[in-house]
Amino acid sequence: MSNGKKEIILVVGVLLFMIGLLGTGLPLIYSVIIAVGIYVGIKVFVGRRQRFIAKEIPEGICVECGSKITGGNCPNCGNGRQKEN
């Protein structure tokens, strides 16, 4: 899913949550403050998580076994394979 679609889904979800808060009798200003807080919290959490994953696994993960790729080869799947020229 592209970043644009994810952003739209997040905004729609937060707006629906805000409407739900209004339905419980909470004033509009409190609903807006809570919704903005949730939006910012999710954006910060996702940003930190992406940076953590990029730092821990800079080369990616193996599609076949899911282990971390080191030195351009998978330690589990790439041990027996040799490069063919």
CA nearest 37: which of 17, 52, 9, 7? 17
**Which secondary-structure segment (H or E) carries 15?**
helix 3-23
pLDDT band at 19 (very low <50, low <70, confident <90, very high): very high
Task: List the end-to-end C-alpha distance of the chain, in Å, as a whole number.
Answer: 36
Please check whether residue 27 lies inside any domain of the structure.
yes
Please check whether residue 43 lies inside any domain of the structure.
yes
Total number of domains constituting the chain = 1
Q: CA-CA distance, 76 to 52, in Å (whole number)?
A: 23
Please check whether residue 24 lies inside any domain of the structure.
yes
Please check whether residue 80 lies inside any domain of the structure.
no
Domain extent for 13: 3-56
Please check whether residue 85 lies inside any domain of the structure.
no
Res 75 pLDDT > 60: yes
Please check whether residue 70 lies inside any domain of the structure.
no
pLDDT at 56: 83
Does this model's pTM top 0.75? My answer is: no
Please check whether residue 48 lies inside any domain of the structure.
yes
Please check whether residue 28 lies inside any domain of the structure.
yes
pLDDT at 13: 96
